[in-house]
Amino acid sequence: MTFRKNILRKPLMLIPVLLAFGFMFATPMLLDAAAAPGGNGNGNGNGNNGGSGVPSNALLPDISPGIPKHLNIHNQQQNEWLRFTNVWANVGVGSLEFEPLFPDPNADEGATQDAFQNLYDDAGNFGMPSENIWSETVSEFIFHDTHNHWHINDIGEFSIRYADITNPSVPGDIALDVNGNEIASVKVGFCIADVFKYNGDESPTSQRIYWDCEVGLQGIQAGWVDQYHQSVEGNEINITDLPNGVYFLVHKWNPDNAFVDADASNDEAWMMFELSDSGNGNGNRQIDEIVGFSPECLPDGSTPGICGDISKNA
């Protein structure tokens, strides 16, 4: 089920027939104008790291994934699932902000609606859609009954990769299972919210702009991180048929290039890990983290939230 804008109202019964015909012919043109990029209908510009007519004075978000942590194997019904914690950090100067077309806390599972991305200028006013200077449809919200809130589609992508042939310290091709199939999750949607500040400062609720994924706006303000713990459903990849060996768990932000984002060069982070037999005789396997990387994790300790050193459950 998709919610759409109801732009036109039924004409009054006493409107002359000729005027009704004229209105009918004019309607398609009015709808086209409203849906056009930059029109009042906030038409689909598909973001694409530059967007459709993004003003030069817009403050852009810059989202970068943090180092994936807490890798572990969950055994269930003769299947092995690699579970992990991931974070999305906003290192830009503007908020990442998504606005639903019709906020609805009582939606059905799988219900969808348009998701607008809003941008603001240096006057700030983040979280106040009436003050934005750019707004276009970039994705859709989908309601997850299990989590009882709305997710933004295709925020990220998780994959397991071999080491690059020419440089074993970085990820290369997607790994294959014993049947020759790629081991990679589908693109994933998330409820996006401010969880903590990536520099480790206190982050009381009163300073959060985006905190409720049931209705209203979702986003990450500049300097903040959203986190999904390894215990959350969906933070997993099936590795049942993945042979033992050394691999990379890769997190990629904005895989479809759908959202306006200041920098596309910092969109991937990873953890190198080894998958091996546990040696305890029970047939289960184990995972050992080797080394992680995020393009925005600074070695001076000033970005613990991006380096995976902060947990919202700690």
CA dihedral 128, 129, 131, 134 (to 10 degrees): 140
Residue 207 DSSP one-character state? G
Beta bridge partners of 212: none
Residue 12: Cβ-neighbour burial (10 angstroms; 0-12, 13-18, 19+): exposed
In a domain, 98, yes or no: yes
pLDDT at residue 145, rounded to an integer:
66
Domain count, the chain: 1
pLDDT at residue 104, rounded to an integer:
65
pLDDT at residue 1, rounded to an integer:
31
Range of the domain at 137: 63-293
In a domain, 40, yes or no: no
pTM recorded for the entire structure: 0.80
CA angle 166, 169, 171 (to 5 degrees): 75
In a domain, 208, yes or no: yes
Residue 170 DSSP one-character state? S
pLDDT at residue 260, rounded to an integer:
97
pLDDT at residue 109, rounded to an integer:
65
In a domain, 21, yes or no: no
Q: With contact defined as beta carbons under 8 Å apart, do 31 and 39 qualify?
A: no
End-to-end CA, the chain: 38
Beta bridge partners of 171: 163
pLDDT at residue 277, rounded to an integer:
93
- Of 233, 272, 280, 259, nearest in space to 88 by CA: 259
pLDDT at residue 214, rounded to an integer:
76
pLDDT at residue 25, rounded to an integer:
40
In the chain, which residues have pLDDT < 70?
1-52, 103-107, 109, 145-148, 185-187, 215, 230-234, 281, 312-314
